[in-house]
Amino acid sequence: MNAETTLIGQPEIRKDAAAKADGAARYTADLALPNLTYATLLRSPHHHARICSIDTARARCLPGVIAVLTAADVPGARTFGMIPDQPVLAIDEVRHIGEPVVLVVAASLAAAKSAAAQVKITYEPLPAVLEPKPALAPGAPLVHPGGNLLAQFNVDSGDLNAGFAAATVILEEDFSVQRVTPGYMETENSLARVNADSSLSVWVSSQEPFIDRACIAAVLNLPAERIQVLSTVIGGAFGGKEDSSLAVLTAFAAWATHGTVRIVNDRRESFVAHPKRHPARIHLKLGAKKDGTLVALQGQVWMNTGAYASYGPAVGSLLTEMVTGPYHIPNVSIETQVVYTHTPYSGAMRGFGSPQAHFAIESALDMLAARLGLDAAELRRRNLLHQGDLLPTRVRVNETALGLERCLQEATAARERLRCIPATPGKVSGVGLALAMQSMGLGAKVPDTSSHRLEWLPDGRVLIHLGAPDLGQGLITVAEQITAEALELPFERVLTAPFDTRDVPDGGVTCASRMTYLVGNAMLAGAAGLKKQLLANGAALLQVPLDQLSYAHGELLLPGGRHYPASEFASRAAEAGQPLQAEAAATFPYPAETTPQHLPAGMPHVKFIFAAQVARVEVDPELGTVTVTDLVAIHDLGKVINRLTAEGQIEGGVSMGLGYALYEDMNLKANGQWVDSFTEYMLPTSRDMPTRLELHMLEYPEADGPFGAKGLAEITVVPTAPAIANAVYDAVNVRVKDLPITPEKLYAAVQ
Amino acid sequence: MSDWDVLTPQNLSELHEMLSLPSRKLIAGGTDLIPRLHRARIDEPVELIDMSRLSELHFIRENAGQIEIGALVAHTTLFTSPLLLQCAPALSKACGSIGSPQTRARGTLGGNLVNASPAADSAPPLLCLNTTALISGPAGQRQVALADFFCGPGRTCLQPGEYLHSLRFAAPAGRWGMAFAKLGRRNGMAIAVVSTCVYLELGSSGRIDTIRIAMGSVAPTPVRCPQAEAAFQGAQPAVETFDLAAAALIADISPIDDLRASKEYRLQTAQVLLKRVLADAARQTENR
Amino acid sequence: MKTLTVHFTLNDAPQTLVTAAGRTLLEVLRQDFGLTGAKDACGGEGECGACTVLLDGEAVNACLVLIGQVEGRRVLTIEGLAPAGELHPIQAAFVAAGAIQCGFCTPGMVLATKALLDHTPHPDENEIRTALAGNLCRCTGYTKIVAAVQMAADKGQNER
């Protein structure tokens, strides 16, 4: 990694910003295609029921109705998913409120909805189980025939009994976290068209377009080559758009009607029928010596994965790895159970188990500190992971942990500063901190390659054929910046092609805090490849030995001062039908010598990101209301690639973490319905954010990251809730162990 | 919604004609009605009467010591009205706390009252001002004390074919103070968990001559609190008396458990808010 | 289906429209005029502000305005804020401040900002946050949006 860079770390302005600012940006639901028809879904009103009959006769006859489809009409695989247990349309049984049962396609959305209202479905309601522990009890209603335990993960290291025997203090606590929704502003939607040659074009707001293509192919019994998946601008995803349901349903509707169909989930549907963050209960038993040295940790986790598997097992495995937080604990036993229930299913969501795990461990450490009479920061310092330490997964921590100590130092200093701020009259103030750790990548034994392609355009600019979608977070900008840096080009001279599976290689899923690292490394490899191509091409064209040519700033240089812009060669090559291109791929490294092999696929992770956040709160003791007045976010991201997008990730992550801590809860209402609207589900508004939000971006380079960069996206939401919980405890001596921290919970305890 | 018919009267006599069919629903700003109709997923045709052209119902004026507000005045206008800031500051503040800037630009005072949510923010200040509601219709006009206007959650005393025309209250005089507070689950776009308004006048002795207390979200409708008021009558405005009034409040309110809060929490925080609002209102009398 | 005729000004251009009476302004803008800058993010409940347009200069949720209610009035959408290919100073500020991530809330935020700055050219932070409290954003945490508004206010943006 050179110290000298031109673009790295600069606040380059994203090229898509202007179109987003002036309304020209077209999201999937904004696309206008000729002969567009509309589909709507009739969804289960029951948690669990048998479908006795579906009568579509009346609906089919209504004006404008083109088709009324059920599971029986699906030509190929009737279920899909990583674990394919999720029906395209319900088959004989519904397993959660909101599960799609009937698909109505019509000339207008109004006609589709009118027709849907005329479909008669008779259900036989069945007993339902909504929580993991009851779902595991003998005799519990089954969500799937194989039993309600979807997956279980165990991580053991050392000797737990010996560990607890050596403990002076044992803390045993239960924590619980709620169901939250990713809450992106653009709800899920897709548009599909059957083309004249019987191929299918599908536009979808999705993080995983190649997986969508595979699911569509299986469901429609078509070869993947006949299916083109395109991505236009995406209005936020946060993990919730790692789900093929809309792509599959829309493609199915188009195929069945040989037409062009759009499906848009409204906000209620988005709540109940697309992945949530796993609610969980975490039981922690933590043993420590008098001086605070942690000697043992036993964790039991019950995750409510809902009706379908989605990415539940993967979240479960990552959560298990995060239970111990960024600390060295020699004797550990963790068991995580991922449990089916008859609820809207959970899956990927920013943090992927880490926010849940850290709420528990970071709260527990503060509680332990209080028990031991130790300062909470000091307790952490005594147990912090260092380079060379072994994690419970037997991964040895590498130099990436260097930033961790500095995170804690800065957090401690921030805490002292914030403690000096006097409380507003009538309020009580408190300051709390939390550390966090997030993994990068998909985990060992899961293929994790991200492939892209770079091309010299005829005019000498460079086009990135990016194989994974930008979710709005600025992945394209980061890719362009790294490519431009590597090729010594101005930022404006690097562009990105629109995403189209027929054009781009498979870049994998945009997820897992892996894209800056993988895409960045892929761009570096691709840039090197482009230079090579240019040199080789130039040597041949100019009839000059290769070793006499060099490359600089988009030009080939010859001895004696002659220089030729890349366009000279690129334009000729393009005219000849052989554009100058290079593969740009990177694979996440899991070196066999150092990666433990004893755990299931997806475990362990071997690269980590660290952070700390410090929150100052003011509590109104008579009302229980909490205001976060200050938040200091200290993030080690290895290397800042784009200052603006990095800050944006942190600021946005903090708001999501704040909502998790204080406001958001998709719970079951007294009337038996899930919270499913923004009237009831409280996202933070501009008036709910701390007015003083301070960012510290540390740069402890990741040895093999692009310019030393790590990932950032997920960890930003991890320490926020425990920092706030710890601050609330500091203010009013009330320990809230179940999120969200509502005024009622505080008020009741303060009185 | 494409089946809906919308009639647009240009003046009150056209409105009266249209009201002869009582199944028609009145719409003003639409900020409550449109979401409600959407949620209800009504399939039969709906006939709406759009009141937004009725300039006769857009007014805020003073008339011989009476403040008169037309039902169609938007919350933003109420929030920024110099007249109201002067003689009913708590009403201004309450209207400024409703919803979002976008919904305040469209939502009307009449709409807020006719929607009759127990949490209607404009109601507690209007109740404290002993507001009279003018109800009109093809059959003529009648007046109802606002306290009698609300009949239950979402229900008013409006008969089929009637509409809320305007509100009227006497401009405060003497050594008066008025304050409003609302407790919500978040700072922006907050629906009241509890809301409180106090109006008081001090006599020459400095004791409380007149006191009116009203609350939202603690009963099936916005309510006056006579027991709390009685505990206060003739008292000195001081912390100890505030505590007494707060204790008496329990008899006046009957909150429930709902999504936003529990009954117990509302009972307790209603008392807290009342004490604070009493202190605030008392402070204001010092300026007069 | 009952129709009505509406005359209104849309982005400075007079329009006459005959359409179903029950349609909202949001629907009409998106479907009839292809102006897709205003978005539906909350299902027409007026809870998110993504459909914000200016009606006679005031920020309103287009999902809650019946089309007949714009009779004789001026509607400004994000597409009408600046001539094609140019950015209004508020838009430019959002771009420069890094206030745009996924962009879905951006048109609504920009128009709510315009309504604010037209009334209050130099708002303090509290006034800014209050003016934007009806516009939800899930990506940015609002920090750079507030900075963008301050940037636009500092540069003075009294146009249109």
Pick from A476, A469, A471: which is nearest to A186 by CA? A471
What does the block give as tokens for B28? Answer: 């003003």
Which percentage of chain A shows pLDDT scores above 90? 97
Measured on CA atoms in the order B95, B99, B101, B107, is the torsion positive or negative?
A: negative
The alpha carbon of residue B102 is apart from the nearest alpha carbon of chain C, in Å, by: 4
**pLDDT for position B38:** 82
Kind plus residue range of the DSSP H or E element containing A608: strand A607-619
**Amino acid letter, B68:** E
What does the block give as tokens for B220? Answer: 């099936």
The alpha carbon of residue C59 is apart from the nearest alpha carbon of chain B, in Å, by: 5
| Rounded-to-5 percentages of helix, strand, coil across chain C | 40, 20, 45
Instruction: Say how far residue C144 (Cα) sits from the centre of its chain.
Output: 18
HSE (side-chain half, CA atoms, 13 Å) at A458: 8
How many residues are given for chain B? 288
What single-letter DSSP state applies at residue A717?
G
Per-residue pLDDT of A102-145, as tens digits, reads: 999 999 999 999 999 999 999 999 999 999 999 999 999 999 99
What residue of C is the nearest CA neighbor of B97? C130
Per-residue pLDDT of A614-665, as tens digits, reads: 999 999 999 999 999 999 999 999 999 999 999 999 999 999 999 999 999 9
The alpha carbon of residue A273 is apart from the nearest alpha carbon of chain C, in Å, by: 15
B49 touches chain C (CB under 8 A): no
Question: Mean pLDDT, chain A, as a whole number?
Answer: 96
Parallel, antiparallel, or unpaired for β A563-565 and A555-557? antiparallel
Whether the Cβ atoms of residue B172 and residue B139 lie closer than 8 Å to each other: no
| Greatest extent of chain B over all pairs of C-alpha atoms, in Å | 64
Chains in contact with A, where contact means 3 or more Cβ–Cβ distances below 8 Å, are B, C
Strand ranges in A497-606 using DSSP code E only, listed in sequence order: 499-500, 550-552, 555-557, 563-565, 581-587
Q: Is the pLDDT of residue B2 over 70?
A: no
Measured on CA atoms in the order A85, A87, A91, A94, is the torsion positive or negative?
A: positive
For A529, list phi and psi in degrees, rounded to 5. -65, -40
Return the residue matching tokens 């929150």.
A615
What residue of A is the nearest CA neighbor of C30? A30
**pLDDT for position B123:** 98
**pLDDT for position C157:** 59
Pick from C4, C94, C35: which is nearest to C54 by CA? C35
Whether the Cβ atoms of residue B59 and residue B69 lie closer than 8 Å to each other: yes
Query: Is B5 in Cβ contact with C46 (below 8 Å)?
Result: no
Parallel, antiparallel, or unpaired for β A227-231 and A260-264? unpaired
Q: Is the pLDDT of residue C160 over 60?
A: no
With a CB cutoff of 8 Å and minimum separation 6, the contacts of C51 are C26, C38, C39, C40, C41, C61, C62, C63, C108
* Lowest-confidence pick of B42-51, B254-263, B268-277, C119-128: B42-51
**pLDDT for position B245:** 81
Q: Is the pLDDT of residue A511 over 50?
A: yes
- Measure the CA–CA gap between C81 and C118, rounded to whole angstroms: 13
Residue of C11, C31, C104, C146 best to disrupt the A interface, most CBs of A under 10 A: C104
Measured on CA atoms in the order A738, A744, A749, A750, is the torsion positive or negative?
A: positive
Parallel, antiparallel, or unpaired for β B5-7 and B47-50? parallel
A chain contacts of residue B182, beta-carbon cutoff 8 Å: none
Pick from A729, A697, A740: which is nearest to A716 by CA? A697
Q: Is the pLDDT of residue C158 over 60?
A: no
Per-residue pLDDT of A310-348, as tens digits, reads: 999 999 999 999 999 999 999 999 999 999 999 999 999
Cross-strand bridge partners of residue A280: A177, A303
Q: Is the pLDDT of residue A2 over 60?
A: no
Of C22, C55, C115, the CB nearest to B6: C22
B chain contacts of residue A622, beta-carbon cutoff 8 Å: 269, 272
Walk across the sheet containing A169-177 and list its strands. A149-157, A331-340, A294-306, A280-288, A169-177
Q: Is the pLDDT of residue A568 over 50?
A: yes
**pLDDT for position A554:** 97
What does the block give as tokens for A360? Answer: 């528990």
What does the block give as tokens for C38? Answer: 């205003």
Query: Is C43 in Cβ contact with A266 (below 8 Å)?
Result: yes
Instruction: Say how far residue A262 (Cα) sits from the centre of its chain.
Output: 25
Whether the Cβ atoms of residue A93 and residue A144 lie closer than 8 Å to each other: no
Pick from B273, B118, B94, B244: which is nearest to A623 by CA? B273
What does the block give as tokens for A495? Answer: 């562009």
- Measure the CA–CA gap between B196 and B125, rounded to whole angstroms: 8
Burial of residue B127 (number of CB atoms within 10 Å: 0-12, 13-18, 19+): buried
Of C21, C65, C135, the CB nearest to B30: C65
Question: Mean pLDDT, chain B, as a whole number?
Answer: 94
- Measure the CA–CA gap between B129 and B213, rounded to whole angstroms: 10
Per-residue pLDDT of B213-245, as tens digits, reads: 999 999 999 999 999 999 988 898 888 888 888
Residue range A266-274: average pLDDT? 97
- Measure the CA–CA gap between A332 and A158, rounded to whole angstroms: 6
Burial of residue C84 (number of CB atoms within 10 Å: 0-12, 13-18, 19+): exposed
Cross-strand bridge partners of residue B170: B66
The alpha carbon of residue A393 is apart from the nearest alpha carbon of chain C, in Å, by: 33
Q: 10 Å Cβ neighbour count for A145?
A: 5
Which percentage of chain C shows pLDDT scores above 70? 97
What does the block give as tokens for A50? Answer: 């048998």
**pLDDT for position A165:** 98
What residue of B is the nearest CA neighbor of A658? B186
Q: What pTM value is reported for the model?
A: 0.97
What single-letter DSSP state applies at residue B177?
E
A chain contacts of residue B264, beta-carbon cutoff 8 Å: 748
pLDDT-derived band at C1, boundaries 50, 70, 90: low
| A positions 418-447 inside 8 Å of C (CB) | none
Per-residue pLDDT of A447-467, as tens digits, reads: 999 999 999 999 999 999 999
Kind plus residue range of the DSSP H or E element containing A270: helix A267-272
Distant-in-sequence contacts of A557-563, Cβ < 8 A, 24+ apart: none
Query: Is A651 in Cβ contact with C91 (below 8 Å)?
Result: no
Pick from A158, A179, A176, A175: which is nearest to A167 by CA? A158
A chain contacts of residue B41, beta-carbon cutoff 8 Å: 117
Q: Is the pLDDT of residue C140 over 80?
A: yes
**pLDDT for position A3:** 62
**pLDDT for position C72:** 97
**pLDDT for position B43:** 66
Residue range B16-27: average pLDDT? 93
Residue range A548-571: average pLDDT? 95
Per-residue pLDDT of B41-90, as tens digits, reads: 766 778 999 999 999 999 999 999 999 999 999 999 999 999 999 999 99
What does the block give as tokens for A8? Answer: 């790295």
The alpha carbon of residue B119 is apart from the nearest alpha carbon of chain C, in Å, by: 17
* Helix, coil or strand: residue A695: strand
**pLDDT for position B34:** 93
A266 touches chain C (CB under 8 A): yes
HSE (side-chain half, CA atoms, 13 Å) at A570: 24
Task: List C-alpha distances in Å: C106 to A89, B190, C127.
Answer: 35, 22, 19
Per-residue pLDDT of C30-66, as tens digits, reads: 999 999 999 999 999 999 999 999 999 999 999 999 9
Query: Is B48 in Cβ contact with C46 (below 8 Å)?
Result: no
What does the block give as tokens for A121? Answer: 């479905």
For C135, list phi and psi in degrees, rounded to 5. -120, 110
